[in-house]
Structure 1
Amino acid sequence: MKNKNVNKKLIIGIIIVGAFISSLNQTVMTASLPRIMTEFGITASVGQWLTTGYLLVMGIMIPCTGYLMEHFSSRKLYLISVSLFFIGCAAAAFSPNIYLLLLARVVQALGAGILLPLPQVVAFRLYRPEERGTIMGIVGLTTGFAPAFGPTFAGWIADSFGWRSIFYIMCALAALSIVLGIVKLPEEEKHSEGKLDILSVILSTIGFCGLLTGVSNQGIYGFFSPVVFGPLAVGILCIVLFSLRQLKLPSPLLELRIFQNRNFTLGTVLLIFAYGSMLSVSTLLPIYIQNLRHYSATVSGLVMLPGALFLALLNPLCGRILDKRGPYLLSLAGLVLLGGATFGLSFIGIDTPLATVVILYAFRTLGVVALLQPLQTWAVNSVESKFISHGTALMNTVRQVGGSIISALLVTVMSVSARDNGDMKGIETSFLVTSILVFLSLAVSAILMRPKKSAEESREKESAAALPEDSSHIIITIAREYGSGGREIGLKVAQ
């Protein structure tokens, strides 16, 4: 058993390394964006595609991971995806213009789209439900700490060695991940039947691209431009056709019937808004600090560093709280912190002390850490075990694409407001709209996530009432820890 535990930790640890660098790569462009905008002569609306485009391609790849995890071993998927990521980073390091840099980001995202959900699926397969909160808190470093740490890391590297050096370092980390995977990861046998439905992949690709393209173009051309409503219409049509096709296929690319599970659907929707809020502020804050306040990229990264440290330290703790207390109070606390701190950011100005911005961003991050991984673990725990890979793929797809769309919408809000009122007012307006979305999510969560008293709990109390007063707490305690089987054990112990 001891050896088995060591192997589980080793497998998760290696896969987390690859997922960490791919997740880190989501936001390394934010601190470097002002420099890249100046070097290539592009606007913020074009430059944000380096981040949102990366996230979009990840969102296109992630739907395939449910199928891929059932047909290929974790080792093969890991090595292929890290290799793609390595090639993309090498291409980005030598890109002479924005077009090749965007293409390199696409190649990176092809690998990252498989890497990101991989540790989550593997963790759910290796660990029991009552252990998943804690282990997913550690896995959450890939989706929480890495994107938050990205601007700090990239800011210092960009100021010291230039933005291209970021990708040199990414290449080295990817190469290390490949070596670890070859040497240490065990091979698995896969015998699942069913073929990859190419039409589903095409429909999902066109659909998600259309949605994000239309939303991103709105800030430049206005809603009634053909380059806005045209892609939106095509995207919505393809997503509808994709969804209908999944419901008819015997072996769908994504098992959409999982959305019939109320907890899974609610957790996914909340994750979209939380993730979109995190991405939008991570994009807008460096623009505020560097372009409007004229500080360096290093300072921009340092402003976000305390928040990143909160994520690193508190992710495992929130996982343990989830295992013992459930998601309700944790989610409400996270939404209060996220919404309140973002609302505070809507009042910052040119003369606001940077210490105030540091504190507000740190409190926002506390909200994020209480939301992202706990919500995802709770939602995926609620689906049947045979659908774990599909549930993880589906949640990551919707989170990445939905979060990217919300982030692009909030950047659009900034661009439209800045056009008439100046850049500072644009950023303030975007923060205000973000906080409103979070508070709406808080109201929904308070109503729909409230735990209901189950029939099982009622039986526990009835059984306990029939025994001496000093024995009743034994039954309830054991039952809460071990479920329905624990109730029977508790009765016998108390008797």
Structure 2
Amino acid sequence: MQKKSSAALLAVLYASALIAAFSENLVNVSLVDMMAEFGIGANTAQWLVTGYMLVTAIVVTISAFLYRFFGLRRLFFFGGCFLIAGSIVSITSASFPVLLIGRLDHSVGTGIFIPTMMSAVMAVARRKQIGTYLAIGGAMITLGPALAPVVSGVMVTGFGWRSAFYPPLIIMGLIMIAGFFLVRDVAEPVKLRLDVMSVAMSALGLFLFVYGLSIVSSAPLQATAFIVAGVAVLAGFAYRQFKIDNPVLDLRPMLNKRFRPSTLLVMVAMATTFSMSVLLPLYFQRSLGMDAFAAGALLLAPILINAFTSLVGGRVMAGSGAWPLLPIGFLIVAVGQAAIVVLSPNQTWLGVLVASVVVYAGVGVVLSPSQSAGLSRLDLSQHTYGVAILNTAIQVAASIGPSLFIGVMAARAGSVAAAGTSEPEAQAFGFSAAVLVATIIAIIGVVVSFVYSRSLRSAGRTVSAGPSPAQH
């Protein structure tokens, strides 16, 4: 009975994580229509994506506290209410600021559901099953963004961009009904004090850093000032976490030299995949003149390939470890992005699509194994903190990537258009410039993963994607 109860509980949490991940990519194919309705540019519209991920990152930062303070059941319903409220506000929005508020409501739900699902798996799954259950959760998180562009594209093309918010509204309502009967606390809530100063510092630091990246191409000096200020505030946040009794984000795992590189690799992989999910629809629509449905449908192939290679990467990691899996995966990413840089100015959708499939395949190979490599090096007592750090790194990377790359794209497209180039061609050159920056970052990933995976191999320990996180 207990086993059946746990399976039903996890099924509901998997479904909620699926909808949360679905919401991440919900507006990507709608941005062009929203820009037209509200009379805004790409740099402003991208805050529907960047702001979403920024708030998600902040919520994920305090997710461990929320999980322990409220308990699973109450936290589940909090997340559902935010997702439903965000959908309603977005549907009824009459201005861009109101729409942004709706998206930020959505993001709180996402920040709650994804780490909550992972924490619940760690709490109820048997040790030998943790890897399998986490892989299922990872598949849900991958499937959500894969479905979002297609579903959203159909809704936007047929009924307008507001209609894209109805599916998460309706499905989340059904999940909450199921959760009323099936979701239970898996541990007693613990009365803790939330360090408000830490939350404020993380929010301010992330905002300054991400905003600086968004204007790095158009206003380098101002961008540098914002980035430096953001780094300083985040450094203060990190220092504070080591000094207070109940840190918002316990950073002790970062003292482990075998864990730190995995955090960087996870960020590189996530920044790549999430940024491409924003940049590709803009390229297909603004350079090639496709509608939202076509742009969303073309994204389905890369993301499904990503889901498949994620399973392959997990199996290889379980059997052979991080070497040579991680450097090969990041090399695949870099090669695919280099091909996009070359092909995209020619405004050829097929070549860019094939190269994108290569990029997403490479990300699938490395994302989960990079997490497993780091978590397996932690003691069991630090697992929850390691998961929280990696979840935070994922969301931070997902906010940094679009902000940086769309800023580069807009600046390059503007300079090319000013020289007399047509708008579609200028957008193509801007897209190529953004992916070039992403290629350089992927090459850094190749170098770091090479050194890191070799060091793990030299340590004489096999990293597995399955039971390893529960063995230490």
In the TM superposition, residue 158 of structure 1 has moved relative to its aligned partner by 0.8
CA contact (8 A) 1:148 1:282 kept: no
CA contact (8 A) 2:118 2:134 kept: yes
In the TM superposition, residue 424 of structure 1 has moved relative to its aligned partner by 1.8
CA contact (8 A) 1:132 1:323 kept: no
Q: How many residues align?
A: 456
Structure 2 vs 1, CA of residues 359 and 50 (structure 1 numbering), >3 Å: closer, same or farther? same
Aligned to 1:299, which of 294, 313, 316? 294
Aligned positions of 1:47-196 closer than 5 A: 47-128=45-126, 130-192=128-190, 194-196=192-194
Match of 2:220 in 1: 223
Match of 2:399 in 1: 404
Match of 1:28 in 2: 26
CA contact (8 A) 1:155 1:300 kept: yes
Q: 1:193-235 CA distances to partner (integer Å, 9 max, x unpaired)?
A: 531111111111111111112222334x41223xx45543442
Match of 1:361 in 2: 356
Match of 1:447 in 2: 451
Match of 1:273 in 2: 268
Q: 1:457-482 CA distances to partner (integer Å, 9 max, x unpaired)?
A: 9xxxxxxxxxxxxxxxxxxxxxxx99
Distance 2:131 2:230 in 1: 35
In the TM superposition, residue 109 of structure 1 has moved relative to its aligned partner by 0.9
Q: Which moved more, 1:409-418 or 1:293-302?
A: 409-418
CA contact (8 A) 2:131 2:467 kept: no
Aligned to 2:332, which of 329, 333, 337? 337
Match of 2:422 in 1: none
Distance 2:337 2:17 in 1: 28
Aligned to 1:249, which of 226, 244, 247? 244
In the TM superposition, residue 64 of structure 1 has moved relative to its aligned partner by 0.6
Match of 1:473 in 2: none
CA RMSD of superposed structures (Å)? 2.3
Secondary structure of 2:428 counterpart: helix
In the TM superposition, residue 435 of structure 1 has moved relative to its aligned partner by 1.4
Match of 1:413 in 2: 408
Match of 2:435 in 1: 431
Aligned to 2:258, which of 260, 263, 268? 263
Secondary structure of 1:46 counterpart: helix
In the TM superposition, residue 98 of structure 1 has moved relative to its aligned partner by 0.6
The question of 1:289 aligning with 2:284 is answered: yes
Match of 1:491 in 2: none
| AA matched with 2:428 | M
CA contact (8 A) 1:129 1:381 kept: no
Distance 2:359 2:110 in 1: 26
Distance 1:44 1:218 in 2: 15
Distance 1:114 1:152 in 2: 25
Distance 1:58 1:131 in 2: 28
Distance 2:19 2:351 in 1: 30
Match of 2:420 in 1: none
Distance 2:246 2:347 in 1: 55
Match of 1:207 in 2: 205
Match of 1:318 in 2: 313
| AA matched with 1:441 | G
In the TM superposition, residue 50 of structure 1 has moved relative to its aligned partner by 0.5
CA contact (8 A) 1:56 1:400 kept: yes
In the TM superposition, residue 254 of structure 1 has moved relative to its aligned partner by 0.9
Q: 1:419-459 CA distances to partner (integer Å, 9 max, x unpaired)?
A: 222322111111122112112211221122123355789xx
| AA matched with 1:296 | D
In the TM superposition, residue 343 of structure 1 has moved relative to its aligned partner by 1.0
Q: Which moved more, 1:51-60 or 1:262-271?
A: 262-271
Distance 1:325 1:128 in 2: 23
In the TM superposition, residue 414 of structure 1 has moved relative to its aligned partner by 1.5
Match of 1:478 in 2: none
In the TM superposition, residue 128 of structure 1 has moved relative to its aligned partner by 4.8
Q: Which moved more, 1:410-419 or 1:446-455?
A: 446-455
Secondary structure of 2:200 counterpart: helix
Distance 1:87 1:42 in 2: 24
Q: 1:385-414 CA distances to partner (integer Å, 9 max, x unpaired)?
A: 223222212111122113321331122221
CA contact (8 A) 1:30 1:286 kept: yes
CA contact (8 A) 2:324 2:453 kept: no
In the TM superposition, residue 314 of structure 1 has moved relative to its aligned partner by 4.2
**Which runs of no fewer than 5 residues in structure 2 stay unpaired?**
417-425
CA contact (8 A) 2:285 2:295 kept: yes
Distance 1:431 1:303 in 2: 18
In the TM superposition, residue 46 of structure 1 has moved relative to its aligned partner by 0.5
Distance 1:406 1:292 in 2: 21
Structure 2 vs 1, CA of residues 455 and 161 (structure 1 numbering), >3 Å: closer, same or farther? closer
| AA matched with 2:431 | I
Q: Which moved more, 1:128-137 or 1:259-268?
A: 128-137
Distance 1:363 1:394 in 2: 28
CA contact (8 A) 1:133 1:322 kept: no
In the TM superposition, residue 188 of structure 1 has moved relative to its aligned partner by 3.6
Structure 2 vs 1, CA of residues 411 and 72 (structure 1 numbering), >3 Å: closer, same or farther? same
Distance 1:424 1:277 in 2: 18
Distance 1:350 1:438 in 2: 20
In the TM superposition, residue 146 of structure 1 has moved relative to its aligned partner by 1.9
Q: 1:36-55 CA distances to partner (integer Å, 9 max, x unpaired)?
A: 11111110000111011100
